[in-house]
Structure 1
Amino acid sequence: MMNITEKTDEEILALAHPMWADLVKYSNEKNYGAFTRNFSTAMKMGANEIEMGKQFARSDLAKNLSTDYKYLGIIRRGEYVTVLYKQPNTKDKGEWLGRLVLGYEKDQVKIFGATLF
């Protein structure tokens, strides 16, 4: 079985950066289908369309993410890597910590966690 933690930082970032860019873009556009397309099966089950729609509707943070985010680092643990970003918001001035958890599902890299703190 493949383990993403064995990839180099460069290989991980080549996967993570486009996925994070898509999450920012599709969150701002409130596009549920595109937002969840790289989610693992478990993430998709936990992020149902109705709840995600409510979150998109209520959250200024989710609709105003800046594309001027900065990569901070990678944490390797178990069968997953966590890629961290400094994520600014265009409406609420300030910065959030973006967390993207990647791993393998059926030989494909999928998102197992995506949060802003």
Structure 2
Amino acid sequence: MKKIFEMTDEELFEVANPMWRDLVKYSNEENYGAFTRNFSSSFIQGANEMELGKQFARAKLTKNLSEEIINLGTIRRGEYITVLYKQKNTKLEGEWLGRLVLGYENGKLKIFGATLF
């Protein structure tokens, strides 16, 4: 398989979209273990289970994400590729920008960042 740095945007979406969909699914379910399973070790250190639990409990945005995602593009920088999404919520009006940062850790593709603005 090609390394992510050699892939076209379309090929990157094929790899990244299942990871993003998992984040959406497990965020909606408030499932910390499954939500963080593809995180890099450095990213998981910052994803404290208690803090994520509080965020899951308080935020309507993180519990009601639409399964429909729209690919916006990619940003290639150094050792990482950022994949951008348009994300909607089933209970809140409007659109959000989803950001998924991918890279390699010990030869495996991992998530180095994931945010919703």
Please give the range of the TM-score, normalised by the shorter of the 2 chains. Answer: over 0.9
Q: In proportion to residue count, which structure has more strand?
A: 2
Larger RCO (CA within 8 A; separation ≥ 6): 1
What is the match of residue 55 of structure 2? 55
Aligned residue runs from structure 1 range 26-45, under 5 A: 26-45=26-45
CA RMSD across the alignment: 1.3
Contact 1:3 1:103 in 2 (8 A): no
Q: Distance in 1 between matches of 2:45 and 2:114?
A: 14
Partner Cα separation in structure 1 for residue 106 and residue 13 of structure 2? 20
> 2:6, 2:58 → 1: CA distance?
39
Q: Please state how far the C-alpha of 1:103 moved relative to its aligned partner.
A: 0.3
Runs of 4+ in 1 over 3 A off after TM superposition: none
d(CA) in 2 for partners of 1:92, 1:8: 33
User: How high is the sequence identity, in percent, across the aligned residues?
Assistant: 70
Aligned to 2:108: 108
Any unmatched runs of 5+ in structure 2?
none
Which stretches in structure 1 are left out of the alignment for 5+ residues? none
User: After the TM superposition, which residues 1-117 of structure 1 pair with which residues of structure 2 at under 5 Å, given as runs?
Assistant: 4-117=4-117
Confirm or deny: 8 A CA contact 2:101 2:113 kept in the other structure: yes
TM-score, normalization: structure 2? 0.94
- TM-score, normalised to structure 1, is 0.94
- 1:19-74 Cα shifts (integer Å, max 9, x gaps): 00000000000000000000000111000110100000011000000011211101
